[in-house]
Structure 1
Amino acid sequence: MHRATHPTYRFSLQDYSAAERLDAWRAQYSVAEFALSGPFDSAVDYRFCGYTLGNISVGKWIYRQPSAARAPLAYTLNRTIPLIRRDGLDSYSFNLRSGGMVRGNIDGRAIHVQPGEILVVDQARPYRREIEAGGAITLLVVRDMLPNLPSALHGTLFRGGVSALLDGYLSSLLEQIETMSPLQARYAEQATLSLVKAMLSTSTQDIANARNELLSTLYVKAKEYIGRNLESVELSPDRICKDIGISRSSLYRLFEQDGGVSHYIRKRRLRAIRRALTSPENARHRIGDLAYRYGFQSNSQLSRAFKQEFGHAPSETREIAQRERSHAPVRADADYGNWLVQLR
């Protein structure tokens, strides 16, 4: 008998007392600044159920409003650069609306999303959205699965055609997902990615030529190479170029969106060090040993880079992690923000 796919995150306003509902709702949005735009009616229900399938996550918001309610819930989400730096969320969000609407500003452009439309958001870039609550499906895709998309995609709207097919497919997927075996879940992930790429091809056809297809493949290959060689003293742009067969200028173009290849390597190494320091199974790691292992010349060099990346010194990491674990809720699925960032 196969193991079914289970939700990785659930939320419902009605799971809380009337006095707790607003605070519980606000707490879900750790990835953006949350503010009410109108009155809060504690009688409404806003619920979400989300699932993760490999490199994608998909979930559904359901909004129920009593007939006596004066107006739908309205709120704003403001994702700022400090929040982006803090959580490292690096995925594309596809928001498929079936009710309510969204207004806002993305890259200086006004947006207005109505039912039947799909809004694409790059979670590694700022946005401000004013949302009138309603039914919606949220699809998250890891950036590596959709490499080298144009920056103009951030804030783009899709409607009709393949986007309508994607909407119908995801609705059907969510109805069946809890009965899927692991193998079926992998097929569903592949099918979803194929539909997303088909939808995007209509807006990127002018640049989706053979050269970009090659660069997309090399980008994934370069990131995999870096991941395998984080502890190597020989890891460098020149070494990457030699081993994967790419010119220096092409390598730099590939990692332009990441702040440069050297910046990307340092970020990956710092995250590896943080994982080592916060792992309960490896509580005896010495900071000096980790600095040497991941290519830092001294403890002070590591400390400066670590504090710049995470806002605190390496020596404080274990204490912070222990404090967060001790204050964590019993349920591992209690934060919509955690569901969003798990794909990073």
Structure 2
Amino acid sequence: MSTPPAPRGFQPVILRTHGLRPDEQVAAWRGWFDSVFDLEQPEPDGAGFLAESLAWPLAGMGISQVTAPGLRVMRTRQLVRRNPVDHWSLTLGGAETQLQTPRGRVRIPAGVPFIVSLGQELVSERDADQRLQLYLSRDRLEALAGPLDAACDMPLQGMLGQLLADYMQLLARRIPQLEPEEAARLPEAIAAMVAACVQPNPDRLALAEGQMEATRLARVRRAIRAHLGSARLSPQLLCRLAGTSRSQLYRLLEGEGGVARYIQKLRLEASHAALSDDRDGRSIAQVAEACGFHDPSAFSRAFRREFGATPSEVRAAALAGHAMRPLALDGPSAPALRDWLRAF
């Protein structure tokens, strides 16, 4: 009997409440946050608490992606004394956050990052959402302690704040694909990017340039995918959508064969994905048009050059059950957030 291959990639610590009885779910979620936060469900509805946390530990920091119903999170004076971990938490929420700290009350808009220190009391309340968090240890970012503390408890807005938000989203997409040896190099890059966005100076911006370029490229890619079918998709429109200059755009995509080539590449990838999905009932012509190809013959030629098969051959393979689909990865569990934080 053969042994199945081990899942590849950097495996997260996973907590899910979905397999528990509804009356056990909130207690299980509280158990993960025990001694770090107290939790309250603002409006318990008796339907349980379906939530998921994926947490990737790194050297001196960690990345967490949490999907949960509406929640009120408190770090009280008693908890600060009981568990004096004083990491920073850099958060990007999918819903507005109402934050209360010793500095006062503030509303953080959805999609805007903000920093809090776990060394202080705080109350955070928000509706159901998915949010990303970077936990940063003081030992790892000691040289940046002053600027990080000064930036606490307020929205990080402006161009660099948005760049940091985009970078966090890029991290969340990429980190499951990393091999452990690649993940070992990630903390240095994260620290450079955080330093450049929180307290920019020429040296820090230069050190984080590679991270910023990758983030800008992800922003351009997202803008292209959002407007794949538009005949108006052009370098000028991309510059406006991605918040970049024309020269910066051309420099970003120089290694991809240029702007026009990159747009066509993403359009072809999207059309291939649609034709490989046996649940997609659109005709080949409809898929092509939705992906920005308005000349069927030109689409077929470009598709075959890119993939070595015609659109109809890819569609036929999907209907025959031969299309490839990504497999979901699973990972180990852990007893509590406090142990994960203490490992930094």
TM-score normalised according to structure 1 size: 0.54
Q: Select which of 53, 62, 69 maps to 2:58.
A: 53
* Residue 131 of structure 2 corresponds to residue 136 of structure 1: yes
Matches within 5 A, 1:1-344: 4-7=9-12, 9-30=13-34, 31-40=36-45, 42=47, 45-63=50-68, 73-97=69-93, 99-147=94-142, 148-150=145-147, 151-201=149-199, 333-343=334-344
1:95, 1:118 within 8 Å by CA — same for their partners in 2? Answer: yes
2:103, 2:153 within 8 Å by CA — same for their partners in 1? Answer: no
Residue 45 of structure 1 aligns to a residue whose secondary structure is coil
2:11, 2:176 within 8 Å by CA — same for their partners in 1? Answer: yes
1:138 CA displacement: 0.6
Note the residue ranges of structure 1 that are not aligned, 5 or more in a row. 64-72, 209-330
**Amino acid of the residue matched to residue 31 of structure 2?**
A
Whole-Å Cα distance in 2 between the matches of residues 134 and 101 of structure 1?
A: 9
TM-score normalised according to structure 2 size: 0.54
2:61, 2:187 within 8 Å by CA — same for their partners in 1? Answer: yes
**Amino acid of the residue matched to residue 83 of structure 2?**
D
Residue 104 of structure 1 aligns to a residue whose secondary structure is strand
1:39 CA displacement: 2.1
1:161 CA displacement: 1.8
1:21, 1:42 within 8 Å by CA — same for their partners in 2? Answer: no
Note the residue ranges of structure 2 that are not aligned, 5 or more in a row. 1-5, 205-331
Whole-Å Cα distance in 1 between the matches of residues 339 and 30 of structure 2?
A: 14
CA spacing shift, 1:2–1:183, aligned 2, 3 Å? farther
Whole-Å Cα distance in 2 between the matches of residues 197 and 125 of structure 1?
A: 22
Residue 117 of structure 1 aligns to a residue whose secondary structure is coil
Whole-Å Cα distance in 1 between the matches of residues 182 and 164 of structure 2?
A: 18
Residue 88 of structure 1 aligns to a residue whose secondary structure is coil
2:113, 2:164 within 8 Å by CA — same for their partners in 1? Answer: no
CA spacing shift, 1:111–1:340, aligned 2, 3 Å? farther
1:58 CA displacement: 0.3
Whole-Å Cα distance in 1 between the matches of residues 99 and 171 of structure 2?
A: 29
1:14 CA displacement: 0.6
**Amino acid of the residue matched to residue 20 of structure 1?**
E
CA spacing shift, 1:119–1:199, aligned 2, 3 Å? same
Residue 156 of structure 1 aligns to a residue whose secondary structure is coil
Whole-Å Cα distance in 1 between the matches of residues 45 and 337 of structure 2?
A: 19
CA spacing shift, 1:2–1:27, aligned 2, 3 Å? closer
Name the residue aligned to 1:274.
Answer: none
2:17, 2:25 within 8 Å by CA — same for their partners in 1? Answer: yes
1:2, 1:181 within 8 Å by CA — same for their partners in 2? Answer: no
**Amino acid of the residue matched to residue 17 of structure 1?**
R
* Identity %, equivalent residues: 20
CA spacing shift, 1:132–1:118, aligned 2, 3 Å? same
CA spacing shift, 1:169–1:126, aligned 2, 3 Å? same
Whole-Å Cα distance in 2 between the matches of residues 177 and 171 of structure 1?
A: 10
Whole-Å Cα distance in 2 between the matches of residues 60 and 184 of structure 1?
A: 20
1:191 CA displacement: 1.4
2:55, 2:63 within 8 Å by CA — same for their partners in 1? Answer: yes
1:52 CA displacement: 1.0
Report which of the two structures shows the higher radius of gyration computed on alpha carbons. Answer: 2
Residue 185 of structure 2 aligns to a residue whose secondary structure is helix
- Aligned-CA RMSD value: 2.6
1:162, 1:195 within 8 Å by CA — same for their partners in 2? Answer: no
**Amino acid of the residue matched to residue 335 of structure 2?**
A
Whole-Å Cα distance in 1 between the matches of residues 22 and 116 of structure 2?
A: 32
**Amino acid of the residue matched to residue 11 of structure 1?**
L
**Amino acid of the residue matched to residue 119 of structure 1?**
F
Residue 195 of structure 1 aligns to a residue whose secondary structure is helix
Whole-Å Cα distance in 2 between the matches of residues 25 and 95 of structure 1?
A: 19
1:2 CA displacement: 12
1:123 CA displacement: 0.8
Whole-Å Cα distance in 2 between the matches of residues 113 and 192 of structure 1?
A: 23
